Structure 1
Amino acid sequence: MQEDQPDTSVEKTAAPGQARALLWDLLRPHRATVAVLAVAVIAENVARLAVPRLVQIGVDDGVPPLRDRRDGSTLTWVIVALVVALLLQAGLRMFFLLRSGRVGQNVLLELRRRVFRHFGTLDVAFHDRYTSGRVVSRSTSDVEAIQEMLENGFDGLITAVLTLIGTAILLLTLDLKLGLVCLLSFPFLVLLSLWFRRESAAAYRQVREISALVIVQFVETMTGIKAVQAYRREPRNQQIFGELADRYQQINIRTMRLVAIFMPGVKLIGNLTTGVALLYGGYLAMRGEITIGVLTAFLLYLRMFFEPMQEITQFYNTFQSATSALEKLAVVLAERPAIADPATATALTQVRGEVAFEDVQFSYVEGRPVLPGLDLRIPAGQTVALVGTTGAGKTTIAKLMARFYDPQHGRVTLDGHDLRSLDQQDLRRHVVMVTQENFMFEGTVADNIRFGRPEATDEQVRAAAAAVGAAAFIEALPEGYATDVAKRGGRLSAGQRQLVAFARAFLADPDVLILDEATSSLDIPSERLVQRALRTILADRTAVIIAHRLSTVEIAHRVLVLEHGRVLEDGPPAELTSADGGRYAALHRAWVESLA
């Protein structure tokens, strides 16, 4: 696989029966309604299958008395029965469509909620490897495939099966010899159907897989369009997308080819069977072995017998697509988060904010440790700055503190409690991480500030913005705090987004605050504003600052210099700066020289 080709390694294969189990689980709350609908479908098909039989009775028993000017009550009875059967069929069809449509929409609503909720519970490591394009594919095209099956598939399948069984029985009942002759075509239909089922199952599974890859490539290219254009990647991305689109086209052509063979094949077998029935039935009628009414009913039943095969074709298309989608959704819903709440969580009451790492070992890739065995204690209320080269383990420490990951060995504690013993919702009320990305959600500036505390008042939002130095630029916006930030905060500069993120963190009022390169996008005036605000924000709380700008580091009580996950230096910034030959002193000199 080429380096820049979409990665399919994260796509697991569904276990046998996993998709079916998911569907039954979704339908379980509607069992009573499904049972009523099944009865309605059976009654509807009985009414429909009765029509040719009533025609036969009318032709054989109702018409001759009229011709001989005798009693016409039989024909009258047949006509009344036909009207009743047709009205019953139409009424039951309406009832079925209304109720089944409601059940289908309820199932889809539950599925969408379940998928969205489950994606939200999965850990950061899962989302790091499972791209946003795949998430979109699971939530949209896969759910739509299931919707199509619920709306059109099951009804067609049930009707087709009942019609096939019912007409076969009625054909044999009307005349055994003619019925057996007509049913000689059935083995050919079965063989053709089994072939189509086998081939279409593989084809439609590939359709779903390639469809997901197309969505992945499209979403990621459009999400990263600035980088794509900046690095002139449009031709290469177009080539990758074009190759995927070509594969998608070819597999869809294959499915169309299967349908092009199956549907005319069914029609050919049906027409040949009807011709044989007409010839042999006509011969029997001429000999007086069957009546004209029986032959007429036979021809009507034969038409009804082969029509469902078209329905089954459409159901196969829908069913295979939906099965593939169900398999992928079932696999995702079966994913268990690596970061899970304990069965019995330790309750946090008064949090001081003391954080400790006890012989913590962690690696993203087995055999390549990022933290080989970290021992670290951060007293409550202390501000600690982490510095070091890229890959030294600074951000990993921050992610472990926020419990985005768990260590493979050792433990991380908050006030002596292992983070794994705490409820995640409870933990994240007390520990907040502000990252360099500072994701902005669609909505107003005020909405984004109160993101971590939705119940906050407008006064509290304004106070938080003022505390971090964001009030001036927010009030200068066209609608102030009510200004829409646009998609991903596109209406704000990078520095303004970081100030809003600081206000969001300040309003959340955590006991432990982690700033991961959170001032990297600020210009010098904004950084000075934030540095003044940080002294207010960090007061009386534990804080960890990760920054390459040593101006931000200088407000810390303590600096840790890291290299390959190990602490090389530990002390107050002023003390480390004055140390001859020290690593931090060298970093500080290089930073000062860069400002000259």
Structure 2
Amino acid sequence: MSAETEPAESTIGTETEPAESTIETDLEWRGVGDDSEEVTRAAGLKLARSARTLVAGLLRPRMKPVVLALVILVLENAVMLTGPLLVALAIDTGVPAALDGRPAPLAWAVAGYAASGLAAAGLRAAFLLVSGRLGQDVLLVLRDRVFRHAQRLALEWHESYTSGRLISRLTSDLESIDDLLDQGLDGLLGALLTLGGITTVLLLIDPVLAAVVLAGFVPLVVVTRWFQQRSRASYRITRTWVARVIVHFVESMNGIRAVQAYRREARNESIMDQLGNRYRDANADALLTLSWFVACVRAVGNLTLALVLLLGALRVTGGALEIGALVAFLLYLRRFYDPLDQLAQFLNAYQSAAAALEKLASVLDTPVTVAEPTDPAPLDRPRGELRFEAVTFAYPRAPERIVLPEFSLEVPAGQTIALVGETGAGKTTLAKLAARFHDPVSGHVRLDGVDLRDLADADLRRALVMVTQEPFLFSGSLADNVALGRPGATRAEIAAAVDAVGAGFVHELPEGLDTDVRKRGGRLSAGQRQLVSLARIVLADPAVVLLDEATSSLDIPSERAVQAALETVLADRTALIIAHRLSTVAIADRVLVLAEGRVIQDGTPAELLRTGGDFADLHAAWESSLR
């Protein structure tokens, strides 16, 4: 990548520890540079609102299964509430009746209890089926939405937002949301329904003992409020550190050649240990918060149960309460604190998922700066005429640094232009503007007279193809990689494209065109990968070809093979060639020498060599480097 492009973030050699705040991390793309507490709090509130909006948008189209799950949950809780009442009925009415020779009331009470148990089991299974399907549907939509949106975001966003962080969004963050969906309806609404129903029944059985139970809510409310605040902060930190762990792992594995070549293993292990320790400590802090909350809930519940047992026994001995009613009250009370445990687990999952949702919302809220037009202009038969009209450009993350100041250039259809100059002169920026990886700050880039911003993406990609210094090959067959720009091509057309660029090595591969090139095309050499990328162009047949340092990483034999292929590829096509190796420039009709985003020389290679100047100096320096 040339110097004018912004460098991607890297943590592989980071010595300093990353900041714990997820707000600054996730909002840095938006330009939030003020570290003040007020700005950070406002950013956090904005993310929280975005997260809630995201959840509402996901659930709104699925209200039928949500309502069905709620109905099943209400019925299940209603059935479960009848159990202790039937126990009280059996003790206070059924047993005395059986002793008097009338077993029917006891039999009905026992049968009713068994029926309620079976009904509750069936309703539980139905609820798990409906809620589970709902949760997986939501996850599928969310995963697809994040993936689709990330593919549409600007190239600069991907250069600044590391792949490891994006992987974290689609893995660990979605897992946190999955945990919440598993417990959401059951852990929250089920617990609230159970608490409400049991509270009502307790008040009906004995208001005095119910008042004792309700008094225990005072410390529970205080503890719950503390838990919400503490766990929210804890889980925001855990989401940050798990992302850092994934980032370091992904970058270390992607750069494994450099790691092993420079004996980087020990340092990488040290960094991973540090990140892993911080992630462990963050999780430990979150679990400690949960354990204190659960312990407090259990302590309040057990103390309340002991007090109710004491007071209830006194009321039974005093004749104010039946023994069966006391048993039912105690059974309800035992069930009363089970939902509180479920509520604690839900709150724990909720805080983790809330932090994950904030991060996912920050990705989805990132605007698509290079957006496809709503009413695109047609481009049926592109000729390949390129024009830059008073184009000004600066990268969004460094708007004060103007890379191209009022740049104008006309490239007639079918002409091959070479762009040369020192690193940072603006060559790669021009190629990226022509490929519409970025839009200019002002001015226009036109293809056949149509502003690129008015072209549909499909039309632009058919008309223009870019080849980079290191072409990317996907895992799979060589044929599939050649057909990348034209998936519907026949086998014969793919083979013809391969032969057209002189890629004879294909016939020597074990399975020919069906050979798996493996990850990033690792089975092929750099020169072979570049020939595959040129075969893609022949097959796709674009009007414009952009070559960004296409031969700079090749050895001399490979470079010659690629240059020979270029003569076929560039024939009758418009081409912009960016090259430091001036041997590639020889095939150009015209050479532009750039400096600080301006053209300082323009002419054929022979003219510029004859007249002297910067191009002649660059050519002389290149020739001396070959000796």
TM over 0.5: yes
Q: Which amino acid aligns with 1:444?
A: S
**Matches of residues 172-571 of structure 1 in structure 2 within 5 Å?**
172-364=203-395, 365-470=398-503, 472-571=504-603
Please identify, of 14-23 and 397-406, the stretch whose mean Cα deviation from structure 2 is larger: 14-23
Please identify, of 4-13 and 321-330, the stretch whose mean Cα deviation from structure 2 is larger: 4-13
Structure 2: distance between partners of 1:314 and 1:192: 14
Q: Secondary structure at the match of 2:587?
A: coil
Q: Secondary structure at the match of 1:562?
A: strand
Work out which of the residue numbers 119, 122, 136 in structure 1 matches 2:150. Answer: 119
Q: CA deviation at 1:353?
A: 0.8
Q: CA deviation at 1:237?
A: 3.1
Q: Residues 417 and 589 of structure 2 are in contact (CA less than 8 Å); yes or no, is this contact kept in structure 1? A: yes
Work out which of the residue numbers 99, 103, 114 in structure 1 matches 2:130. Answer: 99
The residue aligned with 2:162 is 131
Q: Which amino acid aligns with 1:416?
A: G
Q: Which amino acid aligns with 1:575?
A: E
Q: Secondary structure at the match of 1:348?
A: coil
Q: What's the CA shift string for 1:441-476, capped at 9, x where partnerless?
A: 000111111111111111111111111111x11111
Q: Which amino acid aligns with 1:400?
A: L
Distance 1:340 1:568, change over 3 A: same
Q: Secondary structure at the match of 1:15?
A: helix
The residue aligned with 2:110 is 79
Q: Secondary structure at the match of 2:583?
A: helix
The residue aligned with 2:200 is 169
Q: Residues 498 and 521 of structure 1 are in contact (CA less than 8 Å); yes or no, is this contact kept in structure 2? A: no
Structure 1: distance between partners of 2:313 and 2:607: 111
Structure 2: distance between partners of 1:19 and 1:181: 39
Q: CA deviation at 1:541?
A: 1.0
Determine whether 1:34 maps to 2:42.
no
Q: What's the CA shift string for 1:540-591, capped at 9, x where partnerless?
A: 1100111112111101100111111111110111111111x32111222222
Q: CA deviation at 1:386?
A: 0.7
Q: CA deviation at 1:228?
A: 2.8
Q: What's the CA shift string for 1:70-115, capped at 9, x where partnerless?
A: x222222212221221121111111111121111111111111111
Q: Which amino acid aligns with 2:256?
A: I
Structure 2: distance between partners of 1:116 and 1:182: 49
Q: What's the CA shift string for 1:274-311, capped at 9, x where partnerless?
A: 11111111111111111100110111011011111111
Q: Percent identity?
A: 53
Q: Residues 385 and 574 of structure 2 are in contact (CA less than 8 Å); yes or no, is this contact kept in structure 1? A: yes
Structure 2: distance between partners of 1:370 and 1:229: 36
Structure 2: distance between partners of 1:568 and 1:239: 49
Structure 1: distance between partners of 2:275 and 2:100: 74
Q: What's the CA shift string for 1:329-356, capped at 9, x where partnerless?
A: 1111111111012232111122111111
Structure 1: distance between partners of 2:614 and 2:206: 100
Work out which of the residue numbers 604, 607, 610 in structure 2 matches 1:578. Answer: 610
Q: CA deviation at 1:483?
A: 0.9
Q: CA deviation at 1:10?
A: 4.6
Q: What's the CA shift string for 1:504-554, capped at 9, x where partnerless?
A: 122111100001011123332232232222222111110011111211110
Structure 1: distance between partners of 2:25 and 2:565: 43
Structure 1: distance between partners of 2:14 and 2:220: 47
Determine whether 1:592 maps to 2:623.
yes
Structure 2: distance between partners of 1:514 and 1:553: 13
Q: Residues 478 and 516 of structure 2 are in contact (CA less than 8 Å); yes or no, is this contact kept in structure 1? A: yes
Q: Which amino acid aligns with 2:462?
A: R
Q: CA deviation at 1:321?
A: 1.0
Q: Which amino acid aligns with 1:590?
A: A
Q: CA deviation at 1:170?
A: 0.8
Structure 2: distance between partners of 1:159 and 1:416: 63
Structure 1: distance between partners of 2:353 and 2:437: 34
Q: CA deviation at 1:313?
A: 1.4
Please identify, of 436-445 and 182-191, the stretch whose mean Cα deviation from structure 2 is larger: 182-191
Q: Residues 10 and 130 of structure 1 are in contact (CA less than 8 Å); yes or no, is this contact kept in structure 2? A: no
Structure 1: distance between partners of 2:25 and 2:373: 27
Q: Which amino acid aligns with 2:483?
A: R
Q: What residue ranges of structure 2 are gaps of 5+ in the alignment? A: 1-10, 28-43
RMSD: 1.7
Q: Which amino acid aligns with 2:383?
A: R
The residue aligned with 1:159 is 190
Structure 1: distance between partners of 2:55 and 2:457: 30
Q: Which amino acid aligns with 2:81?
A: L
Structure 1: distance between partners of 2:557 and 2:255: 29
Structure 1: distance between partners of 2:548 and 2:357: 39
Structure 1: distance between partners of 2:487 and 2:270: 45
Structure 2: distance between partners of 1:367 and 1:101: 51
The residue aligned with 2:26 is 11
Structure 1: distance between partners of 2:562 and 2:253: 33
Please identify, of 232-241 and 82-91, the stretch whose mean Cα deviation from structure 2 is larger: 232-241
Q: Which amino acid aligns with 1:28?
A: R
Q: Secondary structure at the match of 1:337?
A: coil
Q: What's the CA shift string for 1:375-433, capped at 9, x where partnerless?
A: 11111100000111111111111001001011112111111111112112211110110
Q: Secondary structure at the match of 1:412?
A: strand
Structure 1: distance between partners of 2:25 and 2:498: 41
Normalising by structure 1, we get a TM-score of 0.96
Q: CA deviation at 1:3?
A: 6.2
The residue aligned with 1:67 is 99
Q: Secondary structure at the match of 1:437?
A: coil
Q: Which amino acid aligns with 2:428?
A: T
Structure 2: distance between partners of 1:10 and 1:337: 19
Q: What residue ranges of structure 1 are gaps of 5+ in the alignment? A: none
Q: Residues 154 and 315 of structure 1 are in contact (CA less than 8 Å); yes or no, is this contact kept in structure 2? A: no
Q: Residues 294 and 344 of structure 2 are in contact (CA less than 8 Å); yes or no, is this contact kept in structure 1? A: yes
Structure 2: distance between partners of 1:325 and 1:102: 21
Q: CA deviation at 1:235?
A: 3.7
Structure 1: distance between partners of 2:198 and 2:297: 17
Structure 2: distance between partners of 1:123 and 1:560: 28
Structure 2: distance between partners of 1:154 and 1:33: 12
